[in-house]
Structure 1
Amino acid sequence: MNADRRTALITGASAGIGASFARYLAGRNYDVVLVARRAQRLEELAASLREQYGVRAEVIAADLSTPAGPAKIVARAAELGMPIDILINNAGLSSSTKFSVTPWDKVAAELQLMVTSVTELTHLVIPGMKSRRWGRIVNLSSLAAVSPPGEGLLYTGIKSYVLNMSQSLDMELKPSGINVTALCPGFTHSEFHDVMGTREAADQLPGIMWQQPEDVVAEGWAAVMAGKPVCTPGFVNKVSAAAMRPIPQRIQYFLGRTFNPFK
C-alpha cells in the first residue's frame, strides 16, 4: 500500500478542530472521509480539499448521537472502497444545563456521542488496521480530563474516560502497528462555545489561554505519529495539566502497562 494514499475518517469535520484535521491531513496527501450532521458544510469542505490538494474527499452525513451512527459510517466507508487507516474521533458537545434538570434523552445523546460512539468507531476500525499492520487513532479528550469536575456536568468525566481508554488501547495495539493518542486541548477557537451558549463567558478569558485549532492539530498529529499516548498541546495547557495532576501521565501510563493483569 502506498502510504501517501491512506485514508482518514474524521468525525465532527464540519468546523473547528475536525475541519482543521481534514485540511491538515489532505495537505499531506491523505484521502479523507468527512463525518458530521451538516451535509452542506461537509460538501463545501470536501470540494475545497479536492480542488486544493487533489485528494479523494468523501462525505458521510450521520448523527453519532444515535446508536445506529457508528456502524452506518463504517459500512458506508467500506461501500466507497475507503478502508480506514486513520480515525480522528473529534465529534463532541457539552451540556449547558445541570444533570438533574436536563431531559434524559439529551443526557443519553451526550453519552452516545462522546462515549459509546467513540468507543464503537474505534472497535470497528481496529480489525482493518491490524490486518494492514498500520493505524493511527486520535481521540479528542480535553484538558478538562485532568481538571476539577464542573457542578452538574458530565463533561470532565466523559473526557477522563476518553483519556484513560486511549492509553489502555495504545498499550494493547502498539505491537500491531497502531498508535492511539488522547489529544487534550484547552480553550480552542472554534464554534464549540457558540453551540453551548457559553461564548460570552469564554470571551472573558485572557488571550494567552487560547489556541488556534491548526496548532492543536499539528501538535496532536505529531504526537500520534511519534507514538505518544497523550498529547496536551500548548505550553500554558501543559503547565496547567502538570499543576492539576500529582502523578505525571507518563508515569501513570508506565504503571498501567507494567501492572497489566492480562500479561
Structure 2
Amino acid sequence: MSTAPNVPTTALVTGASSGLGTEFASQLAARGHDLVLVARSRDRLEAIAEELTAVHGVKAHVVVQDLSEPHAGRKVARELADRSLHVDLLVNNAGFGTVGRFEEIAPERDHDLLMVNVVALVDLTHALLPGMTERGSGAVLNVGSTAGYQPSPYLSVYSASKTFVLNFSLALRQEYRRRGIRVTALCPGPVETKFFEVIGTRNAAVAGSFTTPGPVVRTALKALDRDRAYVTPGLGNAITAHLNPRRPRNLVAWVGERICRKALRPEAGSAVPAAHGAAS
C-alpha cells in the first residue's frame, strides 16, 4: 500500500455508491485514506465499505443521504460532527444530468440537479473547509465536466451547473492556496458509468471519447497531488474541450447548439423520450 506525500488522512466521497465515486473510494483506500462514503443506497455503501476495509485495512464510514434534499450538506456535516469525524479531503463527486429541449424537461428534475450539482457541493465545502483551515491543511476535489467549458444547448442546466463547479473551484483555489488548502477541478469527458445508461442515450456524449473510471480517477488524484487547478483526462478530450472558441459568447453558443443536436437523436433501434435525467 502506497500513500502519496502530504495527502490528507480521511476522505469524504459523495456519490460513492457507483461509477467514479466507487473508483475514488477504491483508489483513496489503496493510498491509505480512511473514508466517509455518502450516497442514497445504504446496502451498496455498506458493501463497498466492508470490501475496502477488508482489502486495504482502512476505516470506511457510511453516511446515507439524498443530496437533492434541502440542507443535505448540513445534514451530512451534522452526522460527521455526531461521530467526531474530521474530513481532510472532500471529493464532491455526486451529480447527474438532464438532456432534451428545455421546455420538455420536468422542472422538478432540473431543480434536483441544481440541488445536487451545485447547492450540496457548496454546502459541504462550507461545512468542511473551516476545519481544514484551522488544521492548516486539506484539499477539495470537485468533479465537473467538459460540458462546463461552454454553453451546451439541450444539456443547458447540466452544462451550466458544471461551469459553476469549474469557476467556483478556480476561485476557491486562489483564495486558499496560501493557507495550506489545495483545490482541483476534474473535468472529464464521457466516462463509462451508469450516467448514460440511466439518461437513456449515449448520444448525450456529444463530444470527446469514452474512457473508464480508473484512469480518470488516477489522473484526478495526480493532479491534486501536484496542486493543479483543473484537469481534463485524455488527450482527445482535452483537445476537444479547448478547441471551442471562447469569444464571442454568441458564437460559442451557436457552435454548441449544432454540436449538441446529436443529443436529441434516438439511438439506432431505440425510441428515446425527449427529455432524460441521470444520477451519477
Tell me if TM exceeds 0.5.
yes
Match of 2:64 in 1: 61
Kindly tell me: are residues 245 and 229 of structure 1, through their superposed partners in 2, closer, same or farther at Cα, counting changes over 3 Å? farther
Give the superposition deviation at 1:245: 4.7
Contact 1:184 1:232 in 2 (8 A): yes
Contact 2:100 2:154 survives alignment (8 Å):
no
Query: What are the equivalent positions in structure 2 for 1:190-205 lying under 5 Å apart?
Result: 190-199=193-202, 201=203
Question: Does the C-alpha gap of structure 1 residues 82 and 105 become closer, same or farther in structure 2, counting only changes over 3 Å?
Answer: same
Query: Is contact 1:129–1:135 with CA below 8 Å preserved after alignment?
Result: yes
Distance 2:30 2:210 in 1: 24
CA distance in 2 between counterparts of 1:245 and 1:42 reads 42
Give 3-state SS (helix, strand or coil) of 1:59's partner.
strand
1:32 corresponds to which of 28, 32, 35: 35
State the 1:131 CA deviation.
Answer: 0.7
In the other structure, the counterpart of 1:217 is 217
Q: Tell me the distance in 1 between the aligned counterparts of 2:156 and 2:73.
A: 25
Alpha-carbon distance change, 3 to 228 in structure 1, aligned in 2, over 3 angstroms: closer
Higher relative contact order (CA 8 A, sep 6+): 2
The one-letter code of the counterpart of 2:215 is D
For 2:102 and 2:41, the matched residues in 1 are separated by 27
**Letter matched to residue 15 of structure 2:** G
Aligned equivalents of 1:195, 1:5: Cα separation in 2: 33
Deviation at 1:198, TM superposition (A): 1.6
Residue 197 of structure 1: CA displacement?
1.3
Distance 2:38 2:152 in 1: 29
Which of 184, 189, 192 matches 2:187? 184
Residues paired across the two proteins, number: 243
Q: CA 1:225–1:5 in 2, change beyond 3 Å: closer, same or farther? A: closer
Residues in 1 aligned to 2:140 and 2:31: alpha-carbon distance in whole angstroms = 17
Q: 1:131 and 2:134 equivalent?
A: yes
- Determine whether 1:99 maps to 2:122: no
- How far off its partner does 1:78 sit? 2.1
8 Å Cα contact 1:136/1:225 also seen in 2: no
Conserved in 2, the CA contact under 8 Å of 1:8 and 1:84? yes
Contact 2:11 2:33 in 1 (8 A): yes
SS across alignment from 1:217: helix
1:240 Cα shift? 1.0
- Which residue of structure 2 lines up, in the alignment, with residue 72 of structure 1? 75
Residue in 1 that maps onto 2:227: 227
In structure 2, the partner of 1:50 is 53
Name structure 1 gaps, 5 residues minimum.
248-263
Please give the alpha-carbon distance, in whole angstroms, between the structure 2 residues aligned to 1:240 and 1:56: 40
Instruction: Give the stretch that moved more between structures: 20-29 or 75-84.
Output: 75-84
Change in Cα spacing, 1:180 to 1:10, as seen in structure 2 (3 Å) is same
Q: Output the TM-score relative to the length of structure 1.
A: 0.86
Superimposed CA distance per residue, residues 35-90 of structure 1 (whole angstroms, 9 cap, x where no aligned partner)? 01111111110000000000000111101001121111111122222201000001
Q: How much identity, in percent, do the aligned residues show?
A: 36
Query: For 2:128 and 2:225, how far apart are their aligned partners in 1?
Result: 18
Letter in 2 for 1:227: D
Distance change >3 Å, CA 104–CA 242, structure 1 → 2: closer
Q: How far did residue 214 of structure 1 move?
A: 1.0
Query: Match of 1:188, SS?
Result: coil
**Structure-2 change in CA distance of 1:4 and 1:241 (3 Å):** closer
The amino acid across from 1:160 in the alignment is: T
